[in-house]
Amino acid sequence: MTPATTERSDADRLRNDVVDELTSKGWLTTPEVEEVMRRVPRHAFTPGASLEEAYNAYGAVVTKKDEHGVSISSVSAPQIQGMMLEQAAVKPGMNVLEIGSGGLNAAYLAELVGESGTVTTVDIDPEVTERATRLLVENGYPQVNVVLADAAEDFPGRGPYDRIIVTAGAWDILPGWREELTDGGRLVVPLRMRGLTRTIDFKRVGDHLESSSARVCGFVPMQGAAAHQEELLLVAGTDEIGLRFDDGLPADPSQLDNAVLTVREEMWTSVTVGLQEHVDTLQMYLATVLDGFCVMAVDPDLDTGLVAPSNRYFSLATVEGDSFAYLTTRRTEDDEHVEYGVHAFGPTRQKLAQTVTEHVRTWAKEHRGGPGPKISVFPAGTPDDQLPGERVIDKVHSRVTLSWHSVETTVES
């Protein structure tokens, strides 16, 4: 066998191994998506990456970094691509728009829509669109429309679309994304809400969007007009402990200046979860019910042990006036579960710890194992009395609402 033949054989084997892995774990469930992921040569769209890197089921391939070494463009992991394609439920003959290009996902979409459908992929970066154009042509997909544009401001004018798939992390839902959808069409987007990102399958219902599913994911953030930066609050007088807020800092951050000088309050919830249990609904529930919700991170090089989260890089936290609290865990005696606990600092630390503890217990009783909240997106300016849900997240162009139903209610309905 020639080296080229050997490489092709290895790529085919690795590609099928990845799909086998994803189907066995339940990440892929539809034969249409499974078929196109077996057919399209993923490695051909990740030049510079080894076959092992290209066919890592759970790893993205970074294709571009900024001057600080931060990833700004990548080919998503097979797990994420398959998940979003299944959420989109693309059918033959559809008109599909992809926002955030690279080539590979557009090739998958071209296979799914077939000869009677159309695919347009748009990106803000000319280097990305040039690469995508070249790779699509080289691999047999010259029919894909590759457009250089900022999809937050300028649409390619080929709508309306049956499906719009956003492959970059979005903080807001732009008006055009809804307006360019057919009624009943789907928008699949990794949406950041209060610091948590979920890839959500939205269906257009008149003037708003309603979610059908939401999955945990991670994406490089959008650039251009839709870019949004979190705000950081340092609470220890150094860079050791940072609280990241997605929707603006507390009204008076200085109230927390002396919080870490108090004794740490520790309270345990009696709520235990298995080591492999999915708890993404707990994250979303706390983001819904806690007004001061944020994410805490600890610099490992400066860590003095003042706080003791189970994850130094990402811990659910909240601020209330002059106090803050965060969620942590400890192993149970059987070493197969962890128990949730709350640590709090500040003058009202005991009260705040109790509040968070009760919310964790409510989640365990009413929402654990459930589908999570119903997420709806309405245009900015929609009156409060026309919005459903327990939490409204105001963004620049939209108002996002989260509505919860107990597991019992969900089962009954």
Per-residue pLDDT tens for 362-380? 999 999 998 899 999 999 9
Instruction: Tell me the catalytic residues.
Output: 76
User: Which residues make beta-bridge pairs with 379?
Assistant: 398
What 3-state DSSP class applies to 363?
A: helix
Produce one character per residue of 31-54: b if its CB has 16 or more CB atoms within 10 Å, e if not: eebbebbeebbbbbbbeebebeeb
Interacting residues of 180 by C-beta distance below 8 A, sequence separation 6+ = 97, 155, 159, 160, 161, 164
Whether 113 contacts 93, CB under 8 Å? yes
Interacting residues of 333 by C-beta distance below 8 A, sequence separation 6+ = none
CA-based R_g, the chain, Å: 23
Two tokens at 296?
């805490």
> In the chain, what percentage of residues exceed pLDDT 90?
77
pLDDT at 196: 93
Among 402, 397, 407, smallest CA distance to 290 is for 402
Residue 22 to residue 297: CA distance in whole angstroms: 31
- Per-residue 3-state assignment (H helix, E strand, C coil) for 308-356: CCCCCCCEEEEEECCEEEEEEEEECCCCCEEEEEEEEECCCHHHHHHHH
pLDDT at 1: 52
Among 194, 232, 233, 236, smallest CA distance to 345 is for 236
* 173-195 pLDDT, tens digit each: 999 999 999 999 999 999 999 99
Higher pLDDT, 334 or 92: 92
Pairing of strands 95-99, 161-166: parallel
pLDDT at 142: 96
Decide if pLDDT at 413 tops 70.
no
Average per-residue pLDDT for the chain:
91
User: Which residues make beta-bridge pairs with 20?
Assistant: none
Whether 332 contacts 272, CB under 8 Å? yes
Segment 337-362 shows an average pLDDT of 97
pLDDT at 8: 75
Architecture per CATH, 61-226: 3-Layer(aba) Sandwich (3.40)
pTM over 0.85? The answer is: yes
pLDDT at 412: 45
pLDDT at 407: 67
> In the chain, what percentage of residues exceed pLDDT 70?
94
Segment 202-216 shows an average pLDDT of 93
* 121-178 pLDDT, tens digit each: 999 999 999 999 999 999 999 999 999 998 877 777 788 999 999 998 899 999 999 9
Segment 321-331 shows an average pLDDT of 96
Decide if pLDDT at 285 tops 50.
yes
Q: What DSSP element (H or E) covers 138?
A: helix 126-138
pLDDT at 2: 56
* 66-91 pLDDT, tens digit each: 776 666 677 889 999 999 999 999 99
- Domain assignments of the chain as residue spans, ordered by start: 61-226, 231-366
Decide if pLDDT at 269 tops 70.
yes
